[in-house]
DNA sequence: GACCCGTGGTA
DNA sequence: TTACCAAGGGT
């Protein structure tokens, strides 16, 4: 531990945030917040869910499209599942979209359209875990909750020069983060630590020279900042293989399927296909002269690499195999597809 | 704690 | 090209 010197860490970070806060579409900046403005809890919740394991750059356009189409939690709750899943397509981690809808319908149907303000009540809602509950309570309701995300973990590990590997070190890092959380402006403080981690105290090549915490930072003093936080070694990704079948009717309609809610790409639209395993068997949705595409789809998921062989055929008029759906030429939007399925379509289109 | 769950940017 | 990484949550 460090000694008991007067370290006004939260004061330093808030002063830095007042000058350097990024202008984000879901954020009420420090000046407006000083004037008494608070961000809309709906927008805070939506942005925080989108930002789970996802970069600000990737979220921006999705956030604009969602809020333009569904400006309130009631509007989102009333939306059909397929529209929401389609709008989420490409952003990844599709369980977030399914839980987003569940949560919106709970808030709209049982809570009068108002998000609860307490961490514990928020924590019970679908898709809201420890981090997101703390973030909404702090940012939307200015409660002194401690957020612990990847940024805060990194900043705390470096500030205190903690070498214990993640994720085992989480409780210790949370304890250190809680000790620094102020009663004054906790919402701005939470965003300040995360902004610091995102822009200065970055995973690689941290900009220690311009960091507002460079003097009290123990890792900066030890020269260990760039190697923290330590992480437990991760398992290598195996490669799986599979087949997908693109069948188009003469009028331009496609044979597709809605994937089951559980599991990979759950609830999303996709092409009929085989299992994805080391050596899958072909599994065409109907008998036909299936043609091979010259190139395979390559895609990497969280825990495996995938190589897909693409087969194409003409879908006979009047045929709709059991368990599949016909998507008309004018209803079909490639942007409704998860990326791996869109890659197969792009490959077909390029042939 | 272990495992599952996407994607695009970056070195 | 490969591997790592990001405002995590659910089971």
From residue A293, give the alpha-carbon distance in Å to each of A9, A71, A118, A340, A341. 59, 43, 54, 16, 15
From residue A268, give the alpha-carbon distance in Å to each of A93, A99, A248. 11, 14, 19
Nearest residue, CA→C1' of C7 = A51
Q: Which positions of A are annotated as active-site residues? A: 48
Nearest residue, CA→C1' of B1 = A168
Residue A2: what pLDDT? 57
Q: Which nucleotide is nearest to A306 (CA to C1')?
A: B6
Structural domains in chain A, CATH included, are 9-227 (1.10.340.30), 239-350 (3.90.79.10)
Determine the distance between A126 (CA) and C11 (C1') in angstroms.
Answer: 13
Note the helical H segments in A78-199. Answer: 81-88, 95-110, 119-123, 130-141, 150-159, 170-180, 186-199
Residue A351: what pLDDT? 81
| Kind and range of the H or E run holding A48 | helix A41-50
Residue A56 makes CB contacts below 8 A (sequence gap 6+) with A22, A24, A198
d(CA A172, CA A163): 11
Q: Which nucleotide is nearest to A123 (CA to C1')?
A: C9
Nearest residue, CA→C1' of C10 = A127
Residue A87 makes CB contacts below 8 A (sequence gap 6+) with A62, A65, A66, A69
Mean pLDDT of A184-194: 95
d(CA A298, CA A306): 6
* Max intra-chain CA distance, chain A: 79
Q: Which residues does nucleic strand B approach, with CB less than 7 A?
A: A 53-55, 57-58, 89-95, 167-168, 170, 204, 232, 235, 263-266, 299-303, 338-340
| More confident position, A6 or A254 | A254
Q: Which nucleotide is nearest to A337 (CA to C1')?
A: B6
Residue A1: what pLDDT? 52
Which pTM does this prediction carry?
0.96
Contact A230, A249 (CB under 8 A): no
Nearest residue, CA→C1' of C3 = A236
Q: Which nucleotides of B are covered by protein (CB under 7 A)?
A: 1-9, 11
Q: Which nucleotide is nearest to A24 (CA to C1')?
A: C7
Give helix then strand counts, H and E, for chain A: 14, 7
* Residue A343 three-state SS: helix
The overall average pLDDT reported for chain A is 94
> Is A4's pLDDT higher than 50?
no
Structure tokens at A351: 């042939």
Residue A265: what pLDDT? 95
> Is A271's pLDDT higher than 50?
yes
């Amino acid at each position: 531990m460090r000694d008991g010197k007067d370290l006004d860490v939260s004061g330093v970070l808030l002063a830095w945030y007042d000058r350097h806060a990024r202008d984000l579409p879901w954020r009420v900046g420090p000046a407006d917040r000083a004037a008494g403005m608070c961000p809309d809890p709906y927008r805070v919740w939506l942005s925080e869910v989108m930002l789970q394991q996802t970069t600000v750059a990737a979220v921006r356009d999705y956030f604009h499209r969602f809020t333009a189409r569904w400006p309130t939690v009631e509007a989102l709750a009333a939306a059909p599942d397929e529209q929401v899943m389609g709008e989420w397509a490409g952003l990844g981690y599709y369980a977030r979209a399914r839980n987003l809808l569940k949560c919106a319908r709970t808030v709209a149907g049982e809570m009068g359209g108002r998000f609860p303000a307490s961490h514990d009540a928020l924590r019970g809602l679908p898709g809201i875990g420890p981090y997101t509950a703390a973030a909404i309570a702090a940012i939307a309701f200015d409660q002194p909750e401690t957020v612990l995300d990847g940024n805060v973990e990194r900043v705390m590990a470096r500030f205190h020069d903690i070498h214990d590997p993640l994720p085992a070190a989480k409780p210790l890092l949370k304890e250190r983060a809680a000790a620094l959380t102020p009663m004054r402006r906790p919402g701005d403080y939470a965003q300040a630590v995360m902004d610091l981690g995102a822009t200065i105290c970055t995973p690689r090549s941290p900009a220690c020279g311009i960091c507002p915490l460079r003097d009290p930072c123990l890792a900066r003093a030890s020269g260990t900042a760039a190697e923290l936080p330590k992480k437990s070694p991760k398992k290598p990704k195996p490669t799986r293989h599979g087949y997908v079948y693109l069948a188009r009717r003469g009028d331009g309609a496609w044979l597709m399927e809605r994937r089951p809610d559980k599991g990979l790409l759950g609830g999303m639209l996709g092409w009929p296909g085989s299992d994805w395993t080391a050596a899958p068997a072909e599994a065409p949705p109907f008998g036909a002269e299936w043609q091979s595409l010259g190139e395979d789809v390559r895609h990497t998921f969280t825990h495996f690499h995938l190589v897909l062989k693409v087969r194409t055929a003409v879908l006979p008029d009047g045929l709709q195999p059991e368990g599949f759906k016909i998507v008309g030429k004018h209803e079909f939007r490639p942007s409704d597809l998860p990326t791996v399925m869109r890659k197969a379509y792009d490959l077909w289109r390029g042939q």
